[in-house]
Amino acid sequence: MLGAIHNKVELSSQELSSLLQTSQQTASRYLLELDTQQMVTRELGVKKQLIQITSTGAEVLRKEYLSYEQVFNLPSKVVFKGTVVSGMGEGKYYTEQKGYAEQFKTQLGFVAYPGTFNVEIEYVERNKLRLLRDCGGIQISEFEAENRTFGGVICFKAAINGKEGAVVLPKRSHYATTLECISPFHLRETLGVRDGDVVEVAVFLR
Amino acid sequence: MLGAIHNKVELSSQELSSLLQTSQQTASRYLLELDTQQMVTRELGVKKQLIQITSTGAEVLRKEYLSYEQVFNLPSKVVFKGTVVSGMGEGKYYTEQKGYAEQFKTQLGFVAYPGTFNVEIEYVERNKLRLLRDCGGIQISEFEAENRTFGGVICFKAAINGKEGAVVLPKRSHYATTLECISPFHLRETLGVRDGDVVEVAVFLR
DNA sequence: ATTACTAAGCAGCGAGTAA
DNA sequence: TTTACTCGCTGCTTAGTAA
């Protein structure tokens, strides 16, 4: 905040200590440590030292800055990492229902390859999933067929290891740890992955 | 980053500890402390707890965020706090020189009241002053008069306790800890301040 | 599974001080 | 004035564990 990212700044350990509300010794130690870690460069004079933040240091700060941005500004995409798992073949049954398939076509703009591509995510990431639900998404309505009701689902366009697709979340049953993906492509084949492989699912919020 | 600013999120002390790379006990203590400090609200279930950041907590985070903004994005104004001091009457001599007075009029848009209003700033703030110099400012050229040369100076429009004015920095002699202010008003009188009083000088960079 | 208490150990802080 | 070392003390961390 004194501008040490842009220039060398004069900063004695005494000055730093009063800015940080700590002792001169601790401030001195901080500067030494930051120097050792290559976060700042120092030019020691007899009375002062010139401090400048290195590119390494600036990078660390920028990362922290971006973290704060993520806290306040809702991101336009959320990235999940997870492992490929097999469903119980249900996916195929559902995606082949005309009621779903036609809505996918009009709302998502592609004809879904039969079956779902399932990605198991970390337990902690479920919070991200919840966040996702709050962002709306593409509504797929419930419909009647074969003497039963097929429930409504929420979709988000997504990229699975870069390949076009979408994530499908049932409107009920909140607490899943599996992302069900559909795509115009046969993802297992196109991506060349099998059960246990790690894939990245980027979900687009708007 | 899990979205606890926007919603309640499920977060066990175990999960938090792995995210923070610390022990479950420490994570648990953190959550307790944040609760006590009213930074988060907690809803304890038998197996999970729902955490949400309070408005107090969000405010603290936003302040930190703004600090980072100050690091990376050069601000449009810099605020100094300092105490009013008396010069040695030199200010009057210089500001009454036609060579300066006319340039002030054209470049700053006001006729300066004779004399300078001097504000002594903290030693640490000199770094901000250096930053200021790097931003350019309004150039006042040197000129000849009374058989001598009057050196060029750099000006920045400023507000002294809210009152219109400007800060004048000599092009040479970098290491001052005094801000010399000029203004269309007699600042001491208009602001009702005397030596030793604290004033705020907001310097506009562009 | 959880949360969170107690107690021991250890790391960071700062007083004193040298250069 | 500076910077920065040593060292004792304090307070944070975590292992162990209860609920």
Q: Nearest nucleotide to A32 by CA–C1' distance?
A: D4
pLDDT value of residue A173: 65
Span A46-66, average pLDDT: 87
Q: For B67-115, how does the pLDDT look when each residue is reduced to its tens digit (9 = 90+)?
A: 888 888 767 788 898 999 998 888 899 999 999 999 999 999 999 999 9
pLDDT score of A54 more than 70: yes
The whole-model pTM stands at 0.63
pLDDT score of B144 more than 70: yes
Which residue of B15, B124, B130 is in closest CB contact with A124? Answer: B15
Instruction: Provide, in whole angstroms, the distance separating residue A25's CA from nucleotide D5's C1'.
Output: 10
pLDDT score of A112 more than 90: yes
Span A9-35, average pLDDT: 90
pLDDT > 90: percent of chain B:
51
Domains in chain B: ranges and CATH: 9-73 (1.10.10.10), 77-204 (2.40.30.30)
Which residue of B1, B68, B130 is in closest CB contact with A65? Answer: B68
How high is the mean pLDDT of chain B?
A: 88
Yes or no: say if B203 and B167 are a contact pair by the CB < 8 Å rule: yes
Q: What are phi and psi of A59, to 5 degrees?
A: -65, -45
Instruction: Provide, in whole angstroms, the distance separating residue A1's CA from nucleotide C11's C1'.
Output: 28
Distance from the Cα of A3 to chain B's closest Cα (Å) equals: 7
Other beta carbons within 10 angstroms of residue A53's beta carbon come to: 22
pLDDT value of residue B42: 92
Q: Which residue is nearest to nucleotide D3 (CA to C1')?
A: A28
Q: For B13-61, how does the pLDDT look when each residue is reduced to its tens digit (9 = 90+)?
A: 988 898 889 989 999 999 999 999 999 999 887 777 889 999 889 989 9
Q: Which helix (H) or strand (E) holds B13?
A: helix B13-20
pLDDT score of B173 more than 70: no
Q: Which residue is nearest to nucleotide C12 (CA to C1')?
A: A26
